[in-house]
Chains A and B, each alone.
Chain A
């Protein structure tokens, strides 16, 4: 990815420069390998610094962060909470941590299985599944049941769907919690997009058999969007 972007940048500069100059087809050019030796490129700025793509959170950091977000529970206690207990065990929401460790890229030293430091389809699917579990359980706890202390949704729920201003304030808190910076600094207008998401998801269903409905479902969808965001998995 780094090379691709660096090359794209280099060739884009070449093309851009080539379009603004009159070609001199008959003149031989000594090829030195340096961009500045090319005619017309003498004063062109060349960015030859490293272009570093993001790193994947190690599986340990990911799980620690996940547990921290979920109220600081131990792995086994969090597993119980995510699955539910007694008659309400819901294995469609969360299996067991042991089922996910390999997919999350965790090395197995005993079996000489190396750490997976690059994302792959299975890892993304695992992020998806356990991220959804966290958001669902947190929404049940914080929004639907109003239990305290809240884990993820620490704001006060509005009586009706939040206005844009109310949303922005609450979304900023979630954005900081998951991605570590204010939503206003996001490269694009993230608040608008997520407000649309909340609005659409809130009205998606009123079926009472669905676990989360209305505004709760909307905020849960926002949570999905943040915990599955590349900026959450990468750093």
Chain B
């Protein structure tokens, strides 16, 4: 026991590293801790040898590591553990506009060919409008929205096939897909090095006969390239299903009747349903490939887990086309956190910054795909084109979808952007307004919603800030979730005030709350004079402020700095901070604020502190209970 007391005393009385070559066990252990936390691994033999050199400068060594990626990843790990910014496959990002499926078609010579198409694509040919572009008369088969063709196939003539389809060299096969005659085709050997994790599934790369796919055959309408189309008005008043097709022939909706012939942006989902002259764009860049006609066909080979970074995957599997988006959304957030930390920016930027870093797949998403969730019934409120949270004009124009490792800084994403709060990964991982508010409240203010011991009584009160038993938490949560009232749930679609006033009085009220109104307005908070936007009832002010307002609210909250200290210090010390840590916690919080919220300064203070030096002050024999 007395020797243990001496050991404890030795640990507690650690002096700063001396200039002597003989290091104590405590000093070696401190160095190992530094290496694990700031280099991401145990020290190498060379690291240890350098540490033993009498000229070794620990402070300089720490500062050098605080400029490295391993340190940034260590901080990112803390916040990824809290936010878990990876989206599960249960969030199926399958939008008709952005998915190319394919049917296998029998040709007259007995061979088969894949023909790509978009579900619901409008066509001026009545036989194929709203469905696959080859009719039963040509192929002998009928085509459901999803699933295999029905009926006995007959060989289609070349003339009929060529009349309805064209050959295109698409972006997933060619680097130079925008050229008149693309030649730089996917090469598994060289692209694996040049563009890691850009790998289409084999079934997209190879034809049924085993020959490499050099171009894809696609319905003519899908191959169209205009940026703007026109609303297609057919004159048909209702949907009907002719005997020779399985998908109804679309009639004109009220929007089509009112807006027929008007211009519409081809980059929105709305265009796929309303315009016969909008397609997938040059090189089919507005669409993802799919290897079948199922709901979410496979498209790319991706790792299922890549905790050391996507460049160092643990496996590779065929992934659904939606996983391509989900995977890169997550990488965007990880890279954003890494960059804020590595560049030692104001850590508040994590929630409020308008900057971002994008690579090829993310740039491709923002330029070509993000409009795919716009606009459904929003067209009846005048929303036919998205007002993006990431301004598409800010996306670097020279990045190609294959540029997986080329990350570029975007100084300003636009006035709606706010750190991770407006990134697709956050908005889809936390689909509901309340989930978004809750996780931020928890991770950045270190607060929990804990219900008091109150009696829950039956109630019809829709206002949860008032309902007994609910108000304890919801009086805080509802106004916070109102910050996200203008971002549709499980989506990144922004609902502008000009189209969606907080209180709608022209189209919607309690007695005229049809399905169109109910898409955006809450029946529980509607009156005869108007209807209220979902999620906005508790705070019109917060609704107007939007996600930016949420970011500002958190970083200006008195608990923000101490919570950052709490999260980072408890992770580095390997324990929760307690009352005994109050003084050092206050000191670190003060330092964080005075440094302009620089993470490097905070981490430096923590790893140089006695608390960190002695954060492992038990001997090996104490750990094991015996000696080894």
* A residues neighboring B (CB under 8 Å): 5, 9, 12, 16, 45, 47, 49-61, 63-65, 68, 74-76, 79, 96-98, 101, 106-112, 114-115, 117, 154, 173, 176-182, 185-188, 190, 193, 229-232, 234-235
Contacts and interface: CB of A to CB of B under 8 A. Distances in A.
Interface residues of B, number: 61
A109 B80 contact: yes
A110 B315 contact: no
Contacts of B29: 180-181, 235
A65 B40 CA distance: 8
Contact of B312 (A61, A75, A110): A75
Contacts of B25: 181, 185, 187
Most buried by B among A57, A75, A101, A188: A75
A52 B575 contact: yes
B32 interface: yes
A52 B42 CA distance: 20
Interface stretch (B201-209, B361-369, B616-624): B616-624
B315 A187 contact: no
B81 A107 contact: yes
B476 interface: no
A5 B1 CA distance: 11
Contacts of B628: 188, 190, 193, 229
A204 to B, nearest CB: 20
Given A181-B28, A188-B627, 16 more contacts: A52-B575, A60-B308, A63-B308, A68-B44, A74-B312, A96-B314, A109-B84, A173-B45, A176-B45, A180-B28, A180-B31, A185-B24, A185-B25, A187-B620, A188-B628, A234-B623
Residue in B35, B314, B619 whose Cβ sees the most chain A Cβ within 10 Å: B314
Where chain B touches its partner, the secondary structure class is loop
B194 interface: no
B395 interface: no
Nearest to A184: B25
B308 A64 contact: yes
B32 A186 contact: no
Interface string B586-627: 000000000000000000000000010011111111111001
Nearest to B305: A101
Contact of B314 (A97, A178, A179): A97
A178 B44 CA distance: 8
Interface stretch (B85-93, B266-274, B533-541): B85-93
B251 interface: no
Contacts of B468: none
Contacts of B614: 49-50, 52
15 contacts: A5-B618, A49-B8, A52-B616, A57-B36, A57-B42, A61-B40, A68-B41, A98-B305, A101-B305, A108-B305, A180-B32, A230-B620, A230-B623, A230-B624, A235-B42
Interface string B77-119: 1001100111111000000000000000000000000000000
Interface of B: 1, 4-5, 8-9, 12, 23-25, 28-29, 31-33, 35-36, 40-45, 48, 73, 77, 80-81, 84-89, 304-305, 307-308, 312-316, 330, 573-575, 580, 611, 614-624, 627-628
A57 B32 CA distance: 11
Contacts of A154: 45
Given A9-B4, A187-B619, A61 B313 contact: no
A12 B5 CA distance: 11
B85 A109 contact: yes
- The 10 A-B pairs with the shortest beta carbon distances in the complex, nearest first, are A55-B574, A181-B28, A109-B86, A188-B627, A109-B84, A110-B86, A180-B32, A64-B41, A65-B41, A97-B314
Nearest to B572: A55
Contacts of A229: 628
Contacts of B313: 75-76
Contacts of A51: 8, 617-618
A62 to B, nearest CB: 9
A47 B4 CA distance: 11
A176 B314 CA distance: 28
Nearest to B315: A98
A185 B10 CA distance: 14
A101 B312 CA distance: 14
Nearest to A57: B36
A107 B1 CA distance: 39
Given A47-B8, A180-B43, A97 B81 contact: no
Contacts of A176: 45, 48
